[in-house]
Every structure is written in structure tokens, then in C-alpha cells.
Chains A and B, each alone.
Chain A
Amino acid sequence: MDPFTLADLRRIMSQVGTDGVDADLLINDVPFAELGFDSLAVLETQARISNEYGVRIPDEALDEMTTASATVAYVNDLLNRTRSR
């Protein structure tokens, strides 16, 4: 199965609503909060990732998913761990 990519994350986040935030800012790891992407938006993103990829995202993830690359890394790690079982 394919890894979770930055493109996947951007797609989901734009559905939640980044309102034309420059895609480069996502690559350069500006913290979500500075992009106007609040905790509810991060939780909504988590919920959509969870449903699309069939993986349960634990509470601790909120502290880890603070930037785009951290989120992509976290989700891939989670997918690898759950798939390897």
C-alpha cells in the first residue's frame, strides 16, 4: 500500500480549509497554528485521515502533528506499525 504523502495531506487540509495558504508554507514547515489552522482543524484532519486510511489516531498525536512534515512522518509511522501487525 502507498505511503501517506505531503500531497495527500495537502489535499485533505484544503478540504478542511486552508483558504489558499501557500503550498510552499506547508513544505517549509511553518507551524499549523501560524497558518490559521487551529486545533479543531487539526482534529478534523486527523478524523479524515483516520477514516480514509482506516487507522486510529491516538490522543498523543495532537502534540506531534504540529507541522506538515511532522504530520506526514507521524502518519506513515502509524501506518507502518499497524500494517506490520
Chain B
Amino acid sequence: MIPRRAVITGLGVVAPGGVGVKAFWELLSSGRTATRTISLFDATGFRSQVAAEVDFDPLLEGLTDRQAGELDRVAQFALCASAQAIADAKLPVGAAPHRTAVSVGSAVGCTMVLEQEYVRLSEHGTNWLVDHSRAAPHLFQALMPSTVAAEVAWLAQAEGPCAVVSTGCTSGLDAVAHAAALIAESSADVVLAGASDAPISPISAACFDAIKATTPRNDDPAHASRPFDRTRNGFVLGEGAAMFVVEEISAARRRGASIYCEIAGYGQRANAYHMTGLRPDGVEMAEAIRIALRRAALAPDRIDYINAHGSGTRQNDIHETAAFKRSLGAHAYATPISSIKSMVGHSLGAIGSIELAACALAMQHSLVPPTANLDEPDPDCDLDYVPHVARERSLRAVLNVGSGFGGFQTAIVLTDTGLRDAE
């Protein structure tokens, strides 16, 4: 029995640099960065004062008054990206609700609303017992991020299995892997899948400050995110969302849908080592890559491009470089690899999906986005990380990896559908 194959037929992006796929791809292909001094809150006194923010007006983006007024920014991003994806796929909404599912990744859910309301109700953190009488009536929706999946499900008229996948910084990859699994096992024929996070708020900024994970390069925000560079010193906190219409391939072809690529394989492993630390050997990430390749029935040397996790912390970029060498052998040296976090920052749970969107677009345009700010590679990161300038290349198989707090390691392989057709 041939397992059911999952393909991407539509995508939508809300990312720093601009809402919508066009603005997103323009940023990536130009190698410009969207990192800047934090404007969403007053970051005076914070160690890291840079972020990759989205200029987003919910009403202008077509959200209703209720959605703009009640929902946390994370849900607004997800709705905006979902609407784009649905339109892009020309998906007939409501045609088969029972066979339509939702899988949305988010690492920190409704952080902004939760923090803002807490400040108000606790009088700036001075009242532990909190004044419940002034709580906004929709506050309970913010407590549990399942709200985000519910909102997308209502938009997409989905009545199949719906969930939020919240595996930290691999959420964006895991949510899409989940969609592929739902299709493979025939729980759904269409899945609105992707991820969203809007963590640019004081508590998130402060918690990363406390562990010195974010960059303090506040005097030069545009160049602060420097994956694989010798002078890198932490990631730039970002926000955003990317959502996809993922469909079973024969159903997509029957309705004449345009197909970006196939979700050919995925691998998920954990390092079981440390909540934030990474060993320099990259063993478990290499294992996740190996599993993804095996599921995609691809030898390592078939990979044309790797979209790296590339967060720009000292430890990650070393860990990842080792993982690529361990899993791909000599081919690691012959493969262009880039980190778009250099341009759009690290939006935690969302970035995995934003990166998958970048991969799908890269395949469509035969253009590898660069790693911005890579002025002087770290000698320990000695692979081809595509500094500064996008590179033309025909891409039939692309590997995307992610790594996150809790030890999660995920790899996804996207391919041209023709690869598997030929089997």
C-alpha cells in the first residue's frame, strides 16, 4: 500500500519586513534584514534591545472588529496567514469540513495578552491575588493557546482533528510534520498547518536576557543577527506566522491545485541532555535528519539546499554544523546552507513554518536565500553558508532543520513531487 502523500498547495506569511508572501520573498531574495530596535514596548534597561517586528494592523489586514479587539496578536497573525494560504491555494472552503484538519504550532501562545492583563490586574505585579473583577471577559481564551487552532478552524471550516502543537522552537516544523501524518493515516485530506508566535513583550525579552541567549548588539540592530559569523553573540527575538494548505496529493491534482512541493519526510528526536544546552557533536539532530531522509527515500547527496536552524547563538551554530557533517558526510561541504533568521530573527515556534515557506519559495524561484551579516565565518562553521547574496540553483530536494529548548530536534525534507512520482 502506497502511503498517502502530502503536498503544499497554498501558503501565507506574516513576517518581519512585510505582511504577505511578496514582501517576504523580496526581503529574503535581497538579503536585507528586518531586525531593528524594539518598538513594541519600551526596552530601556533590557540587555537585548533589538527584535524583528512585524508592522501589522489587524483591521487593515482584514480581521474583524472582534478578532482585532479580543484576540492576542499570535492568533491575529495565524488568521492573516491562513486567509492568505487559503486564497493562494484557491481552496474551496467548506467543501469537506469533516476531512479538513488544523495543526498550528506555537511556542509561547498568547503571551502578550497574558502579560498585559496581568500587569493591569495585579497593579504592576504588586498584588499577587489579582483583581479578578476587572478581568476582560475574553481573558480565558488567552490562558490556553488552543484558541489559535480554534480560530483557524473556524476560518477554514475545519471539523476534522484540530490541535496546537507546542514543542518550543521546533513547533513550526512539528506542526507541519503533524499535518503530513494526519494525511498519511487518512485522518484528513486537507490540513491548515503552520505556526505563529508573537513573543515580543517584556517577559519574553527578560527571560532570554537572563540566560544571555539574545544578542546585546543594540547599537547595530540591522546587523545584530549573525548566524555562523565569528562575532555572533545570540539570537534576535522575532515574531510572525506562516500557514500552509497541505493536501493529499491525488485530491490536490484532481482539483487542479498548484503544488509548491511535497512534504516527503520528517524526523523528530530529542537530545535528552539539557533544557537549553547543546552538545557540540550534533548527534541527535543528525539522527533526525537521517530519519527524514529515510522517510523521503533520499540519499544524502540528493539534498540541494539546507535551511538551517542558524539561530546565531555560539553553541547552536557549532552543534548544527556538526550535525550536517555527521548526517550528510562529504555532501555537507557541497550543499548551500543558509539561515533566514539572519534576516527575520527567531520567532520561536513560528520560525520553523516561516522557514518552510522560504524553502517552498526557494524551490519555486530556484533561488537560495542568503545568510545575511555573514562577514567572517567562524572557522568551526566551515560549510557553505551562502553569505550575503542569494544564489541561483535548481532545488528539487530541500532539508529544513530546527532545534529547541527542551532538547527537541526536528528535520523535514521538502521535494519536487516529481521525485516520488518517478519511484
* B216 lies within 8 A of A40 (CB): no
Q: Which residues on A sit within 8 Å (CB–CB) of B276?
A: 40
* B210 lies within 8 A of A59 (CB): no
Contact of B277 among A38, A47, A59 (CB under 8 A): A38
Q: Which residues on A sit within 8 Å (CB–CB) of B277?
A: 38-40
B212 is an interface residue with CB less than 8 A from chain A = yes
* A59 lies within 8 A of B212 (CB): yes
Q: Which residues on A sit within 8 Å (CB–CB) of B334?
A: none
Q: Which residues on B sit within 8 Å (CB–CB) of A38?
A: 274, 277
Chain A residues engaging chain B, CB cutoff 8 angstroms: 38-40, 43, 47, 59, 62
CB distance from A52 to the nearest CB of B (A): 15
Q: How many residues on chain B are close to A (CB under 8 Å)?
A: 9
* B212 lies within 8 A of A43 (CB): yes
Query: In whole angstroms, what is the CA distance A39 to B47 when docked?
Result: 18
Q: Which 7 A-B pairs have the closest CB atoms?
A: A43-B211, A47-B210, A59-B212, A40-B276, A43-B210, A40-B211, A38-B277
* A62 lies within 8 A of B212 (CB): yes
Query: In whole angstroms, what is the CA distance A59 to B277 when docked?
Result: 18
Given contacts A40-B277, A43-B212, A47-B210, 13 further A-B pairs with CB under 8 A are A38-B274, A38-B277, A39-B277, A40-B211, A40-B274, A40-B275, A40-B276, A43-B210, A43-B211, A59-B47, A59-B212, A59-B216, A62-B212
Q: Which residues on A sit within 8 Å (CB–CB) of B274?
A: 38, 40
Is the contact region of chain B dominated by helix, strand, or loop, or is it mixed? loop
Query: In whole angstroms, what is the CA distance A39 to B212 when docked?
Result: 11
CB distance from A30 to the nearest CB of B (A): 20
CB distance from A32 to the nearest CB of B (A): 14
Q: Can you give 16 A-B contacts (C-beta < 8 A)?
A: A38-B274, A38-B277, A39-B277, A40-B211, A40-B274, A40-B275, A40-B276, A40-B277, A43-B210, A43-B211, A43-B212, A47-B210, A59-B47, A59-B212, A59-B216, A62-B212
Query: In whole angstroms, what is the CA distance A75 to B168 when docked?
Result: 34
CB distance from A24 to the nearest CB of B (A): 27
Which residue of chain A has its CB nearest to the CB of B315?
A39
Q: Which residues on B sit within 8 Å (CB–CB) of A39?
A: 277
Q: Which residues on B sit within 8 Å (CB–CB) of A47?
A: 210
Complex interface bits, B275-291 against A, C-beta within 8 A gives 1, otherwise 0: 11100000000000000
CB distance from B332 to the nearest CB of A (A): 28
Which residue of chain B has its CB nearest to the CB of A58?
B47
Q: Which residues on A sit within 8 Å (CB–CB) of B210?
A: 43, 47
Q: Which residues on A sit within 8 Å (CB–CB) of B47?
A: 59
Q: Which residues on A sit within 8 Å (CB–CB) of B216?
A: 59
Q: Which residues on B sit within 8 Å (CB–CB) of A62?
A: 212
Complex interface bits, B208-249 against A, C-beta within 8 A gives 1, otherwise 0: 001110001000000000000000000000000000000000
Which residue of chain A has its CB nearest to the CB of B212?
A59
Query: In whole angstroms, what is the CA distance A66 to B210 when docked?
Result: 18
| B249-282 residues at the A interface, CB under 8 angstroms | 274-277
CB distance from B143 to the nearest CB of A (A): 27
CB distance from B44 to the nearest CB of A (A): 14
Query: In whole angstroms, what is the CA distance A59 to B274 when docked?
Result: 21
CB distance from B206 to the nearest CB of A (A): 10
CB distance from A60 to the nearest CB of B (A): 11
CB distance from B58 to the nearest CB of A (A): 36
Query: In whole angstroms, what is the CA distance A40 to B275 when docked?
Result: 9
Query: In whole angstroms, what is the CA distance A59 to B276 when docked?
Result: 18
Query: In whole angstroms, what is the CA distance A43 to B47 when docked?
Result: 14
CB distance from B207 to the nearest CB of A (A): 11
CB distance from B272 to the nearest CB of A (A): 15
Which residue of chain B has its CB nearest to the CB of A46?
B210
Query: In whole angstroms, what is the CA distance A39 to B211 when docked?
Result: 9
Query: In whole angstroms, what is the CA distance A50 to B276 when docked?
Result: 22
| B266-325 residues at the A interface, CB under 8 angstroms | 274-277
